[in-house]
Structure 1
Amino acid sequence: MTILTISLFSFLLLIASICLSFCNGDSNVLCIESERDALLKFKNDLIDPSNSLSSWVEGGDCCDWNGVVCHNSTAHVTQLLLAPPDGRQGYGRSALGGKINPSLLELQHLNWLDLSNNNFSTIQIPKVQFLVTLGISQSSSILTSDVTLSNLPSLLELHLSDCMLQDDTSPISTVNSTNSLAVLDLSWNELSSVLMSIFGLHGLVSIDLSYNSLEGPIPDYFGNMSFLEVVDSSFNSLNSSIPNSLYSLNHLQSLTLSFNDLQGEISSAIGNLSSLIHLDLSFNELQGKVPDSLGDLCKLKEMDLSSNGIDQDISQILLILSTCCLDSLESLRMSYNQLSGHLTDQLGQFKNLAYMDLARNNISGPIPWSIGELSFLKAFDVSENQLNGTFPPNFGQLKKLKALYIGKNQLEGVVSETHFSNLTRLKTLVASENMIRFEPNSSWIPPFQCGITELSQWHLGSKFPQWLKFQNKLYALDISHAGISDVVPTWFLNLSTQFEYVNLYSNQLTGRITYLNAGNIVDLSSNRFFGPLPRLLSNRFSGPLEYLSLSRKLFSGSLYEFVCNSSMTSMKVLLIDTNFLSGGIPDCWNLGQGLKFLNLGNNNLTGKIPSSLGDKSLEMLNLRNNSMLGELPSTLQNCTNLVVLDLSKNHFSGRIPAWIGDKLSKLVVLSLRSNNFDGHIPHTICSLQSLQNLDLGQNNISGAIPKCFRHLTAMATEENQHIYYSEWLYNDANAETSISLMGASLVLKGREDLYSTTLGLVTSIDLSANSFTGEIPKEVGTLIGLLSLNLSRNLLTGNIPDNIGDLKLMESLDLSMNHLHGGIPSSFSNLNFLNHFNVSHNNLTGQIPTATQLQALITLPSWAIISAGLLSVKAAALKVFRLMLQRMERAVKEVK
């Protein structure tokens, strides 16, 4: 944060206050008795849990008391600094409470009052105007009613940050005009509206209202506060445009309105802020373009307009800023906007630029060669744009560069060692998801010590990168999809003790891994490791292991040693699917680790589900495609947070438990496909209002399809649903990596696919290959959000319900191999998205509806007739097609 200079008047006052602080200890003048008595009265009404005011005793020298500062020659109390030393929000053990005694008004020479970080949420005070202005609640026992700010004529700074202050609901009288109070800090409180009486403090130089609950528009009354140099109202809910009166403050040096809901465009009147040094309007809803008058701010050092809706060519913005800011601008942040265009060589003219963040825009073209002229550049972020071309070699000239973010672009070509030759201060290199080749000499020793290195999808060569051996401060590494086909060296496994995040996903790494000693996130999936699962060791350096993916490898053997004798006390995500694990799942999962995601699918596991897997914390349980058997244990009903339950392709038997509907109310995916379940569908299934995917296909279930399916409300809406906790986030101050977690294999359109990030957009019901009888309930037609319905290979009778044509989002419909009769309802002409349709092997008769989409699927003209019996639509289509070919052949012969 840039340190701002203040006006000469305020600066001299501040220097005087500091001098008083340093000189106090040398004074031989005792404090004034009346002021000592006032302080003791003030203390008596305070709650002091840590006895921090123990030095405040009768008869003592108040100038030696804790938090009291006196003038060196007059002995008047000038400062009262009572913020606790142990942290914010009045939760520290030394936070003061109680009420504020009006005796404070007797300190006529007080110029600095700091009560920040205390707990005055239930304070009882007199109607002292300067405190009423701050919104401190009053008690019914008002001791004084006519005291105003003029009673403290010397007060210069008032700090009441983090005192849990709330709005004053009583009428606030007009504040007397005064020029004494210069600094007012009300940050980190619970104010919900800007108190109008603040605008009567005409002498204010700095006002801080950040981290409150301010709502509504910003009042347009700043015109009378012409001395203001610092305004901070960040982290509130202000939702207006920026008022014109703020643009009139030509002494303003710092304007921070970030993290609000500000709207509209930035006015051209911003050019009036000729003294502005720091401008932060980030995380709002500002639109349009930046005005040309922004170029008139010749002192501007920092500008942050990130996370808005600014739609402009980046070259135009740089041109505007170059009018007057070439020598002053040090920080430019405009990420998460809608910027377009190319970065031009004009960038190199901003010689003092140290921080540049243009991430997540639509900027295209190459990174200009002039980047090498920014000799003061410390952080450069252009990630998640559409940049192309090569990686400029003159990046190696940026000797002060500490953080480089160029990931998720279209950069290509070869990077050599010379690109990094002078980057001795580099700490963060995030460059994943480009098309770059980097194969340095095996003896290369990097000149930097990075903490974060992310080079996913770079081509790093077939050998494991030897240069990583010298990165002794590395704690986050991503070299996934890097084309490495080597054995993981021993030295790398020894380095793992320092890792918080390591991702080697989707290489061709081989060998055995006997132990893992890393945390917090480890992804070794999609490689060619073999042998038993590694033993997990606790790591006191990098924190507990919470995410581990060993999927799609060649691990074999039992789970017992891994689960029962490893350090898994903090494991949240465990993915060991698609291996060759065998034996049963051990019954030792009750370790209190709070496991949320468990995927053991696609192995050779046998036996029953152990009772200890019934943990409330589980959100995903995937055991699909194993050889497990038995009935579902009742302990699974304890998994009340389950979102995905996939037990398909096993040998589970018995009835579908009614408790699935009673207890697992958060289920979005329920797949029991390809098992040996029998009996009827319990009606409690209809209580699953979040259910979007129900797959009971290929079992022995009988009875009627429940009419209560109409209560599956997540399928009865056209709005897209969302699955929460779908990503595991590694978040560092310098990097952020998200990993998709919540996924499921669904059988749609006759094909099985894995859905992960799009899982929340899919709705389906599959009851195929069972023994359901009776008619298709018309209630199915109320599930208007359904994309796929498969009732094939059952014993269903009756007509196709007319209202199935109301399922306008339907993409796949399979009613084949039943005993349905009658015609295809005319309402099917509404199914405009249908691309998979099968009603073969039924007893259907009549005409095919004239829907364009339906005709395109079955390639039949509108006059085609579906014959009685078991003639399928597909067979009828083939018959007509052959007839048309015969006619064409005859026509060709006649022409010849």
Structure 2
Amino acid sequence: MSSNDHRLIGCNEKDKETLLIFKKGINDSSYAKISTWLTEKDCCAWEGVHCDNITGRVTELHLHDQNLKGEINFSILELEFLSYLDLSDNYFEPSPTTQQNITHITSNLFYLDLSFNYGAHMDNLDWLSPLSSLKYLNLTGIDLHKASNWLQVVNTLPSLLELQLSFCNLKDFINNPSIEYLNLSSLVTLDLSGNNFTSQLPNQFFNLTKDLSYLDIQGSNIHSEIPSSLLNLQNLIYLDLAYNQLQGSIQDGIGQLANIQHLDLQSNMLSGSIPSTIGNLSSLHRDKFLSLIERISDSLYLSNNSMTGDMSNLTLKCEYLYLEHNNFTGGLPNISPKAYEVDLAYNSFSGSIPHSWKNLQELYYINLWSNKLSGEALVQVSNWTQLAFMNLGENEFSGTIPIKMSQYLEVVILRSNQFEGTIPAELFNQSFLFHLDLAHNKLSGSIPKFMYNLTQMKTFHERIFSGTEIELFTKGQYYSYVVKPDRRTIDFSANNLSGEMPLELFQLVQIQTLNLSHNILIGTIPKTIGGMKNIESLDISNNNLCGEIPESMALLNFLEYLNFSYNSFNGKIPIGTQLQCFDALSFIGNPKLCGAPLNNCTTVEENLRLQCHLHRMKKVI
């Protein structure tokens, strides 16, 4: 509905005619706001159209995400009093001819958003030059690789405050000889991310934009050191130079940015060290970067570089801290109580978790994978009441798993440490938990027996943590995979667990990976295992399990990895669509077990094994 309920006069006829010409270029508008644009109605009552209450002239046009297809007829810019135009998230294709035929273009337009019109391209941007009042321009996703003079056109827009040109396939603008004569001093926000500049960041470019508070050039194939001219951007709050090929040290380049709150330099080739004390500094100015990262209160991303240094004497105030995949050594830094996400994986941090970390009551995500950390890591866990993702794997942590933990846990990885004691029954009362890895520790006792409340392992649930890359041991080997809602895992392998496998464990029908190998478990396989219809990787090898393999296993259709070796199973391997397709290695070490794929098979079973082998060969061919 239009917000023009109190208009005094009707829509201007000239404006109405211009809107109808614009509509004519659209292929299908049956399900969009534009379907209400009927000639017999006042155009100020058309959806998406806003008029001035007094004059009846069209002032705003809101057509975001309407699935509109066809040609953007730029005659729409002839709406004399148009100040706001949003055609983003559609399928428009700008027409070169209509760009050239525009006359009497409006001088009132201050907001123009044509972003994410998929497949759209423009050969030039000269048509923008008359828009002297333009303050916001967003052309994100439009192919501008032929618009070589885009920087000069932007220079003709004296009022421009925000410029969004990400993913526009922009090429090398840095070597433009006229760059030093340009003046972009009005800009406050500049987004050039996701382009392909294949060039350096020039010092003179940042002399043009001294009032910038937001700068994003991530993922644009920039080759250079961080230019010292960044020091001119004293109002900078947000800086993202991630996913480029920046080299060298960063201490001198950005250390004097007094207002920076978000710094993202991840996935470059930066090196150098972060000194932990002023006493180690060779000159006074070299502590600038040390001071900078302690001032940042929002986000600090330095991951995937080659940075070194001891951060143990630092107190970091940021809510989002990502330092993974570097060469940091020494103790962990102190972290603000408002920290929300912390990723320090793949470094060489040592020592224990600082006592101050017990105050991280807002912590949602913690990843310390693959460091040299030790001590009783889980003492503070009961205080992290909002925690959803915890990865402390591949360290030297010790102690026991606490009974009290966050009720929001979704991912728990304690793999390859020195944890001991029993697995607390309370751990299986986590409604949201879908990835539980306690492998390669010194845990003992039995797997708790009671009705599990692992809702995520039984049914699909909407709330789930996803998008983070973790290490997973499944199907007999390590995988690095991104956490997804459809991947559910339990891994208790390589501990000292005893007793029987609980019946309830096999009622978690959503599990894809179950690994209980290399323990001292006894008893038989529950017949309910046939109900685990989603299981892809099952390893219960190297235990003291016995009895027959249940016939219900023949119902499993998604198994890609199976290992029952080195137990005391007996009888015949059930005949099914998959079990005969595994190698004998999946069953060896069970002297009383027979049937395909083992050698002591009957003729019928041998024929099944041969058919399975031929079926596999056909797939390969």
Q: Give the TM-score normalised by the residue count of structure 1.
A: 0.55
Deviation at 1:504, TM superposition (A): 0.6
Conserved? CA contact 1:845–1:868, under 8 Å:
no
Per-residue deviation, 1:830: 4.8
TM-superposed deviation, 1:761: 4.6
Residue of 425, 440, 446 corresponding to 1:704: 446
1:575–1:599 contact (8 Å) kept in structure 2: yes
Consecutive unaligned residues in structure 2, runs of 5 or more: 17-29, 51-55, 275-288, 616-621
Q: Deviations over 1:424-444 (max 9, x none)?
A: 333222222343324241551
Partner of 2:44: 300
* Equivalent position of 2:308 in the other structure: 556
1:430 paired residue number? 164
Give, as a single letter, the amino acid of the residue that structure 2 aligns with 1:437: K
In the TM superposition, 1:575-724 aligns within 5 A as 575-586=322-333, 588-589=334-335, 593-615=337-359, 616-632=361-377, 634-658=379-403, 662-708=404-450, 710-723=452-465
How far, CA to CA, are the matches of 2:171 and 2:421 in structure 1?
Answer: 59
Q: Which secondary structure state, in structure 2, belongs to the residue aligned with residue 481 of structure 1?
A: coil
2:247 aligns with 510
Other-structure match for 1:359: 88
Q: Residue 64 of structure 2 is aligned with which of 335, 339, 345?
A: 335
Q: For residues 66-215 of structure 1, what are the structure 2 equivalents within 5 Å?
A: none
Q: Deviations over 1:254-283 (max 9, x none)?
A: 9xxxxxxxxxxxxxxxxxx9xxxxxxxxxx
2:394 counterpart SS class = coil
Among candidates 205, 209, 216, match of residue 478 of structure 1: 216
Displacement of 1:549: 0.9
Match of 2:493 in 1: 768
**Partners of 2:566 and 2:147 in 1: CA distance:** 60
CA distance in 2, matches of 1:380, 1:873: 69
In 2, the alpha carbon distance for the partners of 1:396 and 1:844 equals: 80
Q: Which amino acid aligns with 2:498?
A: T
Cα drift, residue 576 of structure 1 = 1.3
Quickly say closer, same or farther: Cα 1:865–1:752, change in 2 above 3 A: closer
Tell me the secondary structure at the aligned position of residue 300 of structure 2: strand
Select the residue among 802, 805, 826 that pairs with 2:530.
805
Deviation at 1:655, TM superposition (A): 2.4
Report the 3-state secondary structure (helix = DSSP H, G, I; strand = E; otherwise coil) of the residue aligned with 1:386: coil
Partners of 1:604 and 1:305 in 2: how far apart? Answer: 59
8 Å contact kept, 2:471–2:478: no
SS in 2 for 1:342: strand
Could you tell me which residue of structure 1 aligns to residue 280 of structure 2? Answer: none
**Root mean square deviation of aligned Cα:** 4.1
Question: Does the aligned pair in 2 maintain the 1:847–1:865 contact within 8 Å?
Answer: no
Equivalent of residue 195 in structure 2, options 458, 462, 469: 458
Identity rate of aligned residues, in percent?
28
1:228-243 to 2 correspondence within 5 Å?
A: 229=6
Query: Contact 1:396/1:421 (CA < 8 Å) preserved in 2?
Result: no
How far does residue 408 in structure 1 lie from its aligned partner after superposition?
4.2
1:790 equivalent in alignment to 2:515: yes
Decide whether the 8 Å contact of 2:348 with 2:371 is kept in 1: yes
Aligned residue type for 1:381: D
Identify if the C-alpha distance between structure 1 residues 408 and 663 changes in structure 2 by more than 3 Å, giving closer, same or farther: same
1:648/1:671 contact within 8 Å kept:
yes
The 2-side partners of 1:302 and 1:378 are apart by: 22
Kindly indicate whether the alpha-carbon contact (under 8 Å) linking 2:517 and 2:541 is maintained by their aligned counterparts in 1: yes
Q: Distance in 2 between matches of 1:873 and 1:536?
A: 67
Structure 1 residue 488: Cα displacement: 0.8
Separation of aligned partners in 2, 1:721 and 1:805 = 28
Which residue of structure 1 aligns with residue 298 of structure 2? Answer: 546
Task: Write the deviation string for residues 13-71 of structure 1: whole angstroms up to 9, x where unpaired.
Answer: xxxxxxxxxxxxxxxxxxxxxxxxxxxxxxxxxxxxxxxxxxxxxxxxxxxxxxxxxxx
Note if contact 2:329-2:347 (Cα within 8 Å) is conserved in structure 1: yes
CA distance in 2: counterparts of 1:455 and 1:702, whole angstroms:
55
Conservation of the 8 A alpha-carbon contact between 1:301 and 1:329: no
Unpaired segments of 5 or more residues in structure 1?
Answer: 5-227, 231-250, 255-272, 274-285, 307-326, 727-739, 889-896
Distance 2:43 2:213 in 1: 39
Q: After the TM superposition, list the runs of 4 or more consecutive aligned residues in structure 1 that deviate by more than 6 angstroms.
A: 251-254, 864-867, 870-877, 879-888
Tell me the distance in 1 between the aligned counterparts of 2:497 and 2:245.
47
Name the structure 1 match of 2:140: 407
CA pair 395-290 structure 1, distance change in 2 beyond 3 A:
closer
Code of the aligned partner of 1:793: H
Corresponding position of 2:290: 535
Q: Output one character per residue of 1:552-610: Cα deviation in whole Å (capped at 9) or x when no partner.
A: 111112113433xxxx44x2111111111111225x54x5x522222221111111112
CA contact (8 A) 2:447 2:501 kept: yes
Distance 1:780 1:467, change over 3 A: same
Instruction: Report SS of the residue matched to 1:493.
Output: helix
Secondary structure, aligned partner of 2:158: coil
1:524/1:550 contact within 8 Å kept: yes
Shift of 1:850: 2.9
**Per-residue deviation, 1:681:** 0.7
Q: Displacement, 1:702?
A: 2.3
Return the offset for 1:884: 7.5
TM-score by length of 2: 0.77
Higher Cα radius of gyration: 1
Q: CA offsets per residue over residues 771-817 of structure 1, 9 Å max, x none? A: 22333222012223323222233333333322233233334333344
1:884–1:3 distance in 2 versus 1, CA, 3 Å: closer
The Cα offsets for residues 707-761 of structure 1, whole Å up to 9 and x where unpaired, read as: 23712223222234334xx8xxxxxxxxxxxxx7x66544444333253xx5455
In the superposition, relative to structure 1, how do residues 825 and 499 fare at CA in structure 2: closer, same or farther (>3 Å)? Answer: farther
- Which residue matches 1:573? 320
Does the 8 Å CA contact 1:388/1:410 hold for their aligned counterparts?
Answer: yes
- Report the alpha carbon displacement of residue 536 of structure 1 after superposing the two structures with TM: 3.0
Q: Per the alignment, do residues 253 and 636 of structure 1 end up closer, same or farther by CA in structure 2, a change over 3 Å counting?
A: farther
Distance 1:873 1:384 in 2: 57
Q: 1:55-74 counterparts in 2 under 5 A?
A: none
Shift in alpha-carbon separation, 1:438–1:391, aligned structure 2, 3 A: farther
Residues 453 and 638 of structure 1: CA distance in aligned 2, closer, same or farther (over 3 Å): same
